[in-house]
Structures are given as structure tokens and as C-alpha cells.
Amino acid sequence: MEQNVSTTNDLPVITFDMMTAMCHNNRGIGYQGDLPWPKLKADFEYYLKTTSTHKKAPFSKNTARIAQRIKTHPNLLTVAGSVPEALEHIAELDRKGNVDSVWIMGGAGIYQCLSHPLCGRIYLTHVYKDFPSETFFPPFDDNFREVK
């Protein structure tokens, strides 16, 4: 198994991946404390398959609430909502050897992680319909390689 680890000041620092979904045109990611769209079964199954054996760090209370409804995730970590706090928690787990990968999911805090040097991959689902939204995913450099 390949481990996502970089070195900073001679201490191993595990990298993290991000997973989120957004409305394709208006970039909406949240509405009234929940996702703006109805349940997307295939995307949800992909999310479970991809992340269920890894540590997850939801950044918002809403994302944590949604994630806690998912009983198949014994590795869920709820991090209080700041990137520095999340990175410190991840570094502590890495020092203890408790993790080999970390996923950052959802909430406004995800914005701050997009350009972080420890951000490995971004798994982004485009929902090809716009729904009323009050939280939006920010513009980003999108010269990524599409993976299906």
C-alpha cells in the first residue's frame, strides 16, 4: 500500500485528500444545513467505497452531522473547523502511526485546504443541476486530470 507522506522538518507529515460535490453551474454545496440536492445513491456508494477505511475530518457541524448518520464509518474524525487544528490533529495521529491516509470532507473549511501543500487529491463530483444554495465551492485552478 502506497502511503501519502511528505517530510517537513524531518518529521513525517501525512498528506490528505479532499472529497466534495458541487452544483455544476452555481457551485452550490450547502443549503439550510444539508446538501442542496436529493440523495444521489451512486455518488453516495462511491463515497462509502472510497473513504470507508480511512480517517475522515469533516470541517463543519453540518458535515459532521451528516457523516455521523453513516454507521459504516468507524474511522470518522470530527475536527473543530480550522485548518491549523485539523493539521495538528492529523500530525498527532501520524506521529502515533495511527493512519495511512486522511480525507477532508465538506463544509466551508474545505475552502482553506484547496491550495495547501499537503493536499494530495481532490475528488469532486459535479451535480449537473443547480439547486438553491447558500454555501458555495470557491473557484479553483481546474486543470486537473479527470478520473472516472
Contacts of 6 by beta carbon, 8 Å cutoff, 6+ apart: 12, 13, 15, 117, 118
pLDDT tens-digit readout, 97-145: 766 677 777 666 667 778 778 888 888 899 999 899 998 888 877 676 7
Q: What are residue 31's phi and psi, to 5 degrees?
A: -155, 125
In this prediction, residue 126 carries a pLDDT of: 92
pLDDT for residue 58 is more than 60:
no
All domains in the chain, ordered by first residue: 5-134 (3.40.430.10)
Whole-number Å distance between alpha carbons of 79 and 23:
25
CB 66 within 8 A of CB 35: yes
CB 16 within 8 A of CB 113: yes
Q: Which residue has the higher pLDDT, 43 or 141?
A: 43
Please report, to the nearest 10 degrees, the dihedral formed by the alpha carbons of residues 48, 122, 110, 126 taken in order.
Answer: -70
